[in-house]
Amino acid sequence: MPKLRYKTLVDRYAADIREGRLRPGAQLPTHRDLARREGLALVTATRVYAELEAMGLVSGETGRGTFVKEVLPVGHGVDLLAWSTDTIDLGFNNPSVPGQSDLLRAALRQIAGSGDIEAMLRYQPHGGRAHERAIMARHLGTRGVSASAADTVLVSGAQHGLTVSAMALFEPGDVIAADAITYPGFKLAAEACHLELVPVPAAGRGPDLDALAQLCKRRRVRAFYTMPTLHNPLGWVMGAQRRRELVALARRHGLTLIEDGAYAFLEERAPPPLAALAPDITVHVSGLSKSVATGLRVGSVHAPPAAMAKIERTIRATTWHTPALMTAIACGWIEDGTVTALEAEKRRDARQRQQIVGDVLGHLKPIRHPASYFVWLPLPEDVRADVISKALMQAHVLVSTAHPYATSRHVPHALRLALGSVDKDMLGQSLRTVANVVAEFAY
């Protein structure tokens, strides 16, 4: 088949999907039917669908066929924001509690009256000023991480910390293991660094360590990315024994452990973090976006001393240093107890929101942590997530499907619901809309 005709066919299907002539959930002809109808070789028909799948427009399901996926109106599945004022956003978390604006005004007044305000207009050390690194290290200590200023650097939020760690510690082509369902931001970081993500299935409240061990025997795996305390989006808290087994496995196979602690503040009784069990092989990344405010882009990377120079050079190459004003606010709030108070208040708020989830969606058996700001909602058999998502968009409710969270070719039909961006009355109303739409397509 001439290349021009092949590309024309791909473009035609892409246009029909993007412009709504082929709706989400529509089943496309089989590869053989497409080949017969268009006069193609079977291998060429397969190539057409493969290119459409690579474009994110269709998904192939073994034994069922090829289906049109939802086409998001803005973004690419992991950076989608509500696109109109009447849309209820259950796609992104922006947890906030009353009084935070007043806290910011007071902090700005205090900084304005400080004696060294001119220092904020100058370049800062790449990893943060020594006293601010020490403050962040003490904050990590309250979460069980034995940190110091020497092995802790400041970054512009946890996402920046993950990206900096990936850039600094690994080479293009390196194999990184991650949960089969995991945080989309790390997927983006791995893609930007040309790392190969290999999925590890779940086994109860944590990763399947036998599967990880088998993977390490087959492939040269460099690291394992994990969220042992309040996994996003599955909400698990890995038990102490499994953490010890993971550390032992990592030592046997020479793995670096990348520990994401972004939501860990929501679990008060978690076992010791991996960074406490194995500080010599663990990179611990955290931030204040969820515990304080999403606009306060300040986080930390705690890593083995041998890795610090590479990480600091990578901070220089990406942001040079964290914004001095935000860092000063964050460190001031850590020292005066504001962060601790906000974390306690947000744990209470998250529990109240999860109670609403139980009342409205309990019959659908959502997977969740009792004090988290998100829910994983597996859909009934034969109910497609992209169809549900599209129907909810039309009802002005924004949700995420499993696609941005999946690291394997098999993407479960499930929804990830963020609970922290709307008030509680609106949350209950929007969750009832979700329940009604799922029920409509389940029967």
Q: CA 412 from chain center: how many Å?
A: 16
Contact 56, 47 (CB under 8 A): no
Per-residue pLDDT for 84 more than 70? Answer: no
DSSP 442: H
**pLDDT in the model for residue 323:** 93
Helices then strands, counting H and E runs in the chain, come out as: 15, 14
Q: Where in the chain is the domain with CATH 3.40.640.10?
A: 118-284+292-336
Mean pLDDT, all residues of the chain: 91
The CATH T-level fold of domain 5-68 is Arc Repressor Mutant, subunit A (1.10.10)
**pLDDT in the model for residue 72:** 53
Largest interatomic CA distance in the chain: 78
Q: Where in the chain is the domain with CATH 3.90.1150.10?
A: 88-93+340-442
Which residue did the predictor score with more confidence, 22 or 56?
Answer: 22
What is the dotted CATH code of the domain comprising 118-284+292-336?
3.40.640.10
User: In the block, which residue shows the tokens 């790392």?
Assistant: 195
**pLDDT in the model for residue 1:** 41
**pLDDT in the model for residue 198:** 97
Q: What is the pLDDT of residues 293-334, one digit of tens each?
A: 999 999 999 999 999 999 999 999 999 999 999 999 999 999
pLDDT band at 430 (very low <50, low <70, confident <90, very high): very high
Q: What is the mean pLDDT of residues 393-410?
A: 91
Instruction: Please state, in angstroms and rounded to a whole number, the distance separating the CA atoms of residues 36 and 269.
Output: 61
* Assigned token pair, 177: 């293991």
Instruction: Please state, in angstroms and rounded to a whole number, the distance separating the CA atoms of residues 282 and 162.
Output: 13
What is the dotted CATH code of the domain comprising 88-93+340-442?
3.90.1150.10
User: In the block, which residue shows the tokens 């910390």?
Assistant: 161
Q: Alpha helix locations (H) across 25-99? A: 31-38, 42-54
Per-residue pLDDT for 59 more than 90? Answer: no
**pLDDT in the model for residue 51:** 81
Q: What is the pTM of this model?
A: 0.82
Which residue did the predictor score with more confidence, 99 or 77?
Answer: 99
